[in-house]
């Protein structure tokens, strides 16, 4: 069981470490796209024929916004938890940038 957790932690570390720049560059544009999706879903909710689609889009936008906000806020903690290296010199700390 411990070996599988170690592999999972290493995979999480590599995923987040290599996509650090992607997350930093795309956070605000993704929030903008989510806002557009929420406006679209509200417009779809106004019609009786498209209420299901509007609801699904709205729920998807909310879930995506929560997910990327949590990743943005807890990025450093995720990297520290998933880092399996033992040397103190190899620990990487990224400052948590406040939402603007």
How far apart, in whole angstroms, are the C-alpha atoms of residue 38 and residue 63? 11
Could you list the residue range(s) of the whole structural domain that residue 42 is in? 2-90
Whether 21 is in a domain gets the answer yes
Whether 96 is in a domain gets the answer no
pLDDT for residue 99 is more than 70: no
How far apart, in whole angstroms, are the C-alpha atoms of residue 81 and residue 53? 38
When pLDDT is cut at 50, 70 and 90, the band that residue 43 belongs to is very high
Whether 33 is in a domain gets the answer yes
Mean of all residue pLDDT scores within the chain: 84
Whether 71 is in a domain gets the answer yes
Alpha-helical (H) ranges within the chain are 2-18, 20-45, 51-73, 75-82
Q: Helix (H, G, I), strand (E, B), or coil: what is residue 94?
A: coil
68 or 1: whose pLDDT is higher? 68
């Amino acid at each position: 069981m411990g070996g599988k957790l170690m592999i999972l932690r290493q995979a999480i570390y590599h995923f987040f470490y290599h996509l650090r720049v992607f997350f930093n560059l795309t956070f605000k544009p993704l929030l903008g796209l989510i806002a557009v999706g929420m406006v679209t879903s509200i417009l779809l909710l106004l019609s009786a024929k498209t209420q299901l689609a509007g609801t699904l889009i709205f729920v998807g936008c909310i879930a995506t916004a929560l997910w990327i906000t949590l990743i943005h806020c807890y990025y450093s903690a995720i990297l520290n938890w998933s880092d399996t290296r033992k040397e103190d010199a190899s620990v990487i700390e990224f400052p948590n940038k406040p939402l603007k």
